[in-house]
Amino acid sequence: MKPESIPKSLADQTALTKLNTVVLKVNPAAPAAQLRQQLAVAAEALRAGLLVAFPTETVYGLGGHALLPDTVKRIYSAKGRPSDNPLIVHVSKIDEIDPLISQWPRLALPLAQKFMPGPLTLILPKSSLVPRAVSGGMDTVAVRIPSNPVANALLRQAGVPVAAPSANLSGRPSPTLAQHVYADLAGRISYLVDGGPCTYGVESTVLDLASGPYPRILRPGAVTFEMLKDFLLSARLMPESETVWGPLLANEEGLNRVLPDGEHPRAPGMKYRHYAPLAPVIILEALQAAAVGAAMPKLSALLSLLDCAPGADTPPGTNGAAGPALYTGLPKTLCALLTQAEALTWPKQLHTTNGELWNCQVSGFTNDCNGQAAAHDLFAAFRRFDQAGAAAIVAQIQPDSSIGRAYMNRLGKAASFRVSPGGIWRKDKQLGWVQLKAGDRLPGAAGNDGGLL
């Protein structure tokens, strides 16, 4: 664990601008001894301060020795992430959290014993062992124990705490397959452990236990509000009275909001835009078939306003990097992420209000009521759609409960537009969601006719 014990020659390798990223394919179902053997090189690399991406049950992580400030700095630069957005420290078992924190708040140990290993991150008061580089200068630390067998075995074998943000380039959708990591980070990390697809497909629930008597969800995930409430009530750790449950959910509204520059975030990370594919994302705010049908004219009107012709600005709210497909004279592609039932009846092509013909490419997810299938495919679908040259992406809502909350949270952050049977909204950096009125154009998009709504 001591920084002095790191072989300097190995740690220095990552100073090179372009690394040769070695992919280590492992079988998550292999017996423990075999897994240990397959992970030996990656564990040694972590101990030596190199960057190693690995699968977890949520998304792939970009790992580095959490107690070595130089390694932590390299995590930020490999990801292109602002260094005031703190990192989660990963360990293999509860005992290993002890040295990282100054105390266990009242609810922390029972919650850890119930939900760890698993997709839950706890924000706790940090000890002096955790470098400021990890915690973004704050006096708290985020800790998590992954349940994915590859991640857990790797952490056990490395024997050091591992800081790991999601293994995507900053602003891109989180990676749920090793191929996603490779596409973003090849040449920027030393090893990529390929352990197959991630189970949940959305990042862990982040629960703040360090700022007040009641816990607050800073980021919804697969350990849901309902699961936390059930447990805390049945273990008699929190009273039933309504007022104490508000704070648990309080930050969701905040997390969905894009903070204007200059406004200080309640939780770090809130001020950054996340998860965005290259094409603009439109939320289809309709659950049942009748509502979807009623929202279609609004979708057609919005597509008319998205101007992707040569010379036009990148449509507002897109990631900006490459922009959606350039004008080719061919029909543009609308990629749609829908429940299975809607996917079956969605048109192959649609005419926008200004008479353009768009091709539609559809991915369906099973409507499993708690949103798990939708959450599992969201980030992967964003990446598939970008590869398919989507000019726009539309994604259907899920009920805002259970893991559906995590889906809606990520979708809300990625989206630039919303359509419902009742209207069209665009996301404004200062004002939040702004409804478009008849005749409105989209700021920054040149050449559209207006007056189409």
Residue 203 sits in the site that holds ligand TXA (CB under 6 A): yes
Candidate residues 87, 101, 336, 338; the one interacting with ligand TXA per rule CB under 6 A = 87
Task: Kindly tell me which residue out of 42, 133, 267, 414 binds ligand TXA, with binding defined by CB under 6 A.
Answer: 267
The residue number whose beta carbon is nearest to Mg ion equals 166
Sort 399 into a burial class: Cβ within 10 Å, 0-12 / 13-18 / 19+: middle
Alpha carbon separation from 103 to 100, 189, 267, 415 (Å, rounded): 9, 34, 21, 39
> Per the structure block, which two tokens stand in for 395?
């994604």
Measured in degrees and rounded to the nearest 5, phi and psi for residue 45 equal -60, -40
Closer by beta carbon to ligand TXA, 204 or else 339: 204
Q: Is 341:289 a contact under the CB 8 Å cutoff?
A: yes
Answer yes or no whether residue 398 interacts with Mg ion by CB under 5 A: no
Q: Lay out the site mask for Mg ion across 139-178 (x = CB under 5 A, - = otherwise).
A: ---------------------------x------------
| Interface with ligand TXA (CB under 6 A), residue from 19, 88, 185, 415 | 88
Residues 140-179 within binding reach of ligand TXA (CB under 6 A):
140-142, 144, 164-166
CB of 308 to Mg ion, least distance (A): 28
Collapsing DSSP to helix, strand or coil, 266 comes out as coil
Region binding ligand TXA by CB under 6 A among candidate stretches 15-23, 56-64, 93-101, 301-309: 56-64
Instruction: Indicate whether 56 belongs to the interface with ligand TXA (CB under 6 A).
Output: yes
Min. distance of Cβ 286 from ligand TXA in angstroms?
29
Q: Does 189 bind ligand TXA (CB under 6 A)?
A: no
58 binds Mg ion (CB under 5 A): no
Question: Rule CB under 6 A: is residue 372 a binding residue for ligand TXA?
Answer: no
Phi (first) and psi of residue 53, to 5 degrees = -90, 140
Contact in structure between 52 and 193 (CB atoms under 8 Å)? yes
Is there a contact between 359 and 333 (Cβ–Cβ < 8 Å)?
yes
By CB under 5 A, residue 56 contacts Mg ion? no
Shorter beta-carbon distance to Mg ion: residue 410 or 426: 410
Work out whether 204 is an interface residue with ligand TXA (CB under 6 A). yes
The answer to the question of residue 180 lying near ligand TXA (CB under 6 A) is no
Tell me how far apart the alpha carbons of residues 190 and 386 are, in angstroms, rounded to a whole number: 26
DSSP 137-158: T-SEEEEE---SHHHHHHHHHH
Question: 61-65 and 52-54: which strand pairing?
Answer: antiparallel
Nearer to ligand TXA, 88 or 276 (CB): 88
If one asks whether residue 85 binds ligand TXA (CB under 6 A), the answer comes out as yes
Q: Which residues make Cβ contacts (< 8 Å) with residue 200, sequence separation at least 6?
A: 57, 58, 59, 119, 221, 222, 372, 375, 376, 403
Task: Decide if residue 123 touches ligand TXA (CB under 6 A).
Answer: yes
**Rounded-to-integer distance, Cα 372 and Cα 282, Å:** 20
Which residue number has the CB closest to ligand TXA?
A: 269
Determine which residue in the list 23, 30, 129, 138 makes contact with ligand TXA, applying CB under 6 A. Answer: 138
User: Shortest gap between Cβ of 187 and Mg ion (angstroms)?
Assistant: 20
Kindly compute the dihedral angle of the four CA atoms of residues 82, 180, 203, 319, in this order, to the nearest 10 degrees. Answer: 50
Indicate whether 91 belongs to the interface with ligand TXA (CB under 6 A).
Answer: no
Question: 132 or 441: whose CB is closer to ligand TXA?
Answer: 132
Tokens of residue 159, six digits: 């024997």
The one of ligand TXA, Mg ion, none whose footprint includes residue 86, by CB under 5 to 8 A per kind, is: ligand TXA
- Please name every residue paired with 284 in a beta bridge, in sequence order, or none if there are none: 396, 419
Q: Is 121 an interacting residue with respect to Mg ion (CB under 5 A)?
A: no
Instruction: Rank residues 166 and 190 by Cβ distance to Mg ion and give the closer one.
Output: 166
Whole-number Å distance between alpha carbons of 411 and 340: 18
Cα dist from 278 to 82, 112, 313, 329, 371, whole Å: 20, 37, 14, 20, 24
Q: Which parts of this chain interact with ligand TXA (CB under 6 A)? A: 56, 58-59, 61, 85-88, 121, 123, 135, 138, 140-142, 144, 164-166, 203-204, 206, 218-219, 267-269
Q: Which parts of this chain interact with Mg ion (CB under 5 A)? A: 166
